Structure 1
Amino acid sequence: MARYRKDAGGWTLEESAMLDGHVAVVTGANSGIGYETARALARLDAEVILACRDVEAATRAVASIRRETPHARLSVVHLDLADLRSVHRAADDILQTTDRLDLLINNGGVMRSTRALTVDGFEADLGTNFLGHFALTGRLFELVMATAGARIVTVSSITHRRGRIHFNDLTLEHNFTHEVAYAQSKLANLMFAYALGRRLRAQGGSAISVSAHPGGTRTSVLRDRTRAVRLVYNPALRPVTSLFTQDAAQGALPTLRAALDPDATDGDFYGPGGRFELVGAPVKVRSASRARDEKAQEQLWGLAEKLTAVPYPPVSLNT
């Protein structure tokens, strides 16, 4: 795995060729944190599969990365996380493309300002951010298990701490606000990461599940938010807002450390180490207590298996 160096600014990714022979899948890799993650992994000589809903945008992202890293090994797979049929087709494409998967970066996501449903009838944030990744990971589970030292990195958000899983109203028909929907989806992602780790351990092998949050990062996921929020995260205001916002390259560092730090262990959660975990170099951070509730994790897992019809190996809470 790649190394990090620690300088006055904290953890930074060191230029290295140590990912040669490794294969990574990054969802939502055509822009923002996903793009910066794919870009960094390509610079480290990993073979990177960009799994994206917008194939044209992903193709442009590939061209952009290759202008900087001409030798980059990149490919695009169409993946719409809001459509389980697309998830299955993407998984089939990946399984036909490679016989190993060292890194699965569950990064793609949305933040809808109004209530909407996915193709399969799920609330859009939960269906895209959580259930789509749940199904994709399940389809790729055996490939990950077969790859020595593999990691699954699930991207959550600092807003998970305000989240609740509305077990009796997952579609938020009665409880919707954009804050409630997004926080629920990102709490679900973190609960998924912990429960996934139990299943990986139960199967043996060396694969681990880790997670990250990007803090206050300026990305296009905010495009549907209020004008005030978009103004705060406008790159033009960086000199004023840099105390609590950062660009996508910085926001990708917690994900990259989760993926590449040789000292990372199953269940680790990374985020910015600066002010209120909004900015700064990536460090281990603590999740909300409700994210670590194993009984709630298993309740959510059972619902996810039922809703997606994607089974995983069974596991005991004592594993």
Structure 2
Amino acid sequence: MCIFIDCLLSPLILWPAIIGVGIYLLKEYMQGGQFTKDTDETGKVFIVTGANTGIGKETALEIAKRGGTVYMACRDMNRCDRARNDIIKETNNQNVFSRELDLSSLESIREFVAGFKKEQNKLDVLINNAGVMRCPKMLTKDGFELQLGVNHIGHFLLTNLLLDVLKKSAPSRIVVVSSLAHTRGAINVDDLNSEKSYHEGLAYSQSKLANVLFTRELAKRLEGSGVTVNSLHPGVVDTELARNWAFFQTNFVKFFLKPMIWPLLKTPKSGAQTSIYAALDPELKDVTGLYFSDCKPKAVAPAALDDKVGKFLWAESEKWTGLASPESKD
């Protein structure tokens, strides 16, 4: 016994064990707030964009577990179908559907909405989850800078085209996945489409700020409709979002930096918790225009409170998408 205890107390065993436990506890702590309430979503209809991977897939999975009807709106249908099959296999919920939606194409968005309305006459929750991050300078099919085009403009059009169904389904919700990166963002009113200059990080932060400004402006326009809209920061999550960020594809990051920061990253399941909270928590039934992080309200950056810029962004988004007065459509 003494020999056994001596072995356990050996520095060669003791310190690695202490370090291992410390890393485990740090990893658990960094998972953040969790949505633990039991809810029954049977009979409710949800749309989750970008639901084939990462926090989008985990969001769709949790909703399906609770009985909800889930439309997985994705660009890559092969990956979407595989994710759908995974979710059905795990939940035994057959009301999970994969549908094509390319947020970089206004035509694709309109086709998705038209198809959805042929299949459903209600929509309880729209979760605008899909996004791209720190891309090289690229344009959408309609000529918009890709990050602003996908993260904001695509969801702007999608949301407005679905407002009539959301209003008929009230009480209903819109959830917008933004990011802490919005705090570093600024809306470039003189070069919104990054035509004069482009920086991948600034463009990403601008698109995430646009998410929060859009949320706050839409909440005002939907006042009294029974439709709520809130935005959120999912946390720093270990997903594929950085796949277009060249730095994160280097061997230095893959084999050295990522293992070092792994304890600080949320899993996709933990990253989905605030989206699930905003979509399902009964206490948020009448809460609108807020920003959440770790399943609780959080203050936004001062730039996100600029109503003048919010109105400017809305007007420009209307022009770019060809919408006249989307908030007045019933």
2:83 equivalent in structure 1: 61
Consecutive unaligned residues in structure 2, runs of 5 or more: 1-28
**After superposition, what is the alpha-carbon deviation per residue over 1:226-275, rounded to whole angstroms, capped at 9, x for unaligned?**
33587798699777424531111111111111111222210121113xxx
1:307 equivalent in structure 2: 320
Q: Tell me the secondary structure at the aligned position of residue 264 of structure 2.
A: coil
Q: Is the 8 A contact 1:216 1:245 kept in 2?
A: yes
2:123 equivalent in structure 1: 101
1:215 equivalent in structure 2: 235
Q: 2:208 aligns with which of 186, 189, 195?
A: 186
Distance 1:270 1:45, change over 3 A: same
Q: Is the 8 A contact 1:258 1:269 kept in 2?
A: no
Q: Is the 8 A contact 2:242 2:248 kept in 1?
A: no
Distance 1:235 1:29, change over 3 A: farther
Map 1:82-121 → 2, pairs under 5 A: 82-121=104-143
Shift of 1:296: 0.9
Q: Distance in 2 between matches of 1:257 and 1:230?
A: 35
Residue 22 (1) aligns with residue 35 (2): no
Q: 1:291 aligns with which of 268, 286, 304?
A: 304
> Which one has a bigger Cα radius of gyration?
2
Q: TM-score, normalised by structure 1?
A: 0.87
Q: Distance in 1 between matches of 2:280 and 2:316?
A: 31
Q: Is the 8 A contact 1:23 1:100 kept in 2?
A: yes
Q: Tell me the secondary structure at the aligned position of residue 12 of structure 1.
A: coil
Consecutive unaligned residues in structure 1, runs of 5 or more: 1-7, 273-281
1:205 equivalent in structure 2: 225
Map 1:4-19 → 2, pairs under 5 A: 11-14=33-36, 16=38, 18-19=40-41
Map 1:224-263 → 2, pairs under 5 A: 224-228=244-248, 240-263=260-283
1:163 equivalent in structure 2: 185
**After superposition, what is the alpha-carbon deviation per residue over 1:44-98, rounded to whole angstroms, capped at 9, x for unaligned?**
1000000110111110000111121112410111100000000000010111111
- State the one-letter code of the partner of 2:296: V
Q: TM-score, normalised by structure 2?
A: 0.84
Q: Distance in 2 between matches of 1:310 and 1:299?
A: 14
Count of residues paired in the alignment? 297
Greater fraction of residues in helix: 2
82-91 or 209-218, larger mean C-alpha shift: 209-218
- State the one-letter code of the partner of 1:83: S
Q: Tell me the secondary structure at the aligned position of residue 96 of structure 2.
A: strand
